[in-house]
Structure 1
Amino acid sequence: MGHDIFGVNKTGEDIAYARFSMGNYNSIILYNLLNAEEFHAGVSGNGGSTIISKQQLEKAMNDYKKTFGKKEVSKTDIDLKQIFNFIEQCLSTAHEEGSVKVYFG
């Protein structure tokens, strides 16, 4: 069990991935930033998915930077780094396509 979160572009390709073990409470940070708390099922995602717009991802990145700083976090903070990278990769795709689909497994 664990949280496997995928960002997918309009052609169905995985463009972002974040993985949290079932005991890692930092997973809720990503759910909160994406305003997707309803997909958090405790030890894993609930298997659902949602479309997240470019504007929602921009807000997520701004909220991340407000909370954790404007610079990318150090390599020692693995969870925050993967959260930053996930949002950044989804946002990059959303700039081209307008949105991304996110699966919460």
Structure 2
Amino acid sequence: MSNVNASILYHVLDADEYNGGVSGIGAKVTFSANKMEKAMDVFLQFYNAGDSTELKETSLNMDEEQILNFLLNCLKTAKEEEEVVIVFC
């Protein structure tokens, strides 16, 4: 039911209020490129990594790797479109 790694994602996005425990609360939130860069920085600091390439070379579990890829995709979209919308469901 609860996944410790999911709480990491809510934490790095500074979105704990959208965490419904088993899943999100259904909120749709817009994040700027700056906010996504900050989330990526927090995630990298959590793993003491300098950048995402260095982090990918470590032994992340499957959930952690999915979070990293999700953050990278969101960051890319936010940079291209100035923002990205995430639905916490």
**Normalised by the shorter chain, which TM-score bucket?**
0.7 to 0.9
Q: Which residue of 2 aligns with 1:14?
A: none
Query: What residue number does 2:85 align with?
Result: 101
Q: Secondary structure at the match of 2:4?
A: coil
Task: Tell me if structure 2 keeps the 8 A contact 1:93–1:100.
Answer: yes
Q: Which residue of structure 1 lines up, in the alignment, with residue 66 of structure 2?
A: 82
Higher helix fraction (1 or 2): 2
Q: Secondary structure at the match of 1:42?
A: coil
Residue of structure 1 equivalent to 2:26: 47
Distance 1:29 1:40 in 2: 11
Structure 1 Cα separation of the partners of residues 46 and 67 of structure 2: 12
For residues 26-80 of structure 1, give each alpha carbon's deviation from its aligned partner in whole angstroms, at most 9, with x where no partner exists: 1110011111111101111111110011000000111111111232344651111
Answer 1 or 2: which has greater strand percent: 1
- TM superposition outliers: structure 1 runs of 4+ over 2 Å: 72-76
% same residue: 38
Q: Tell me the C-alpha RMSD between the 2 structures.
A: 1.4
Q: TM-score by structure 1 length? A: 0.73
**Cα 1:59–1:75 shift into 2, 3 Å:** same
Gaps of 5+ in 1: 1-21
Q: What are structure 2's unaligned runs of at least 5 residues?
A: none
Q: 2:55: which partner in 1?
A: 72
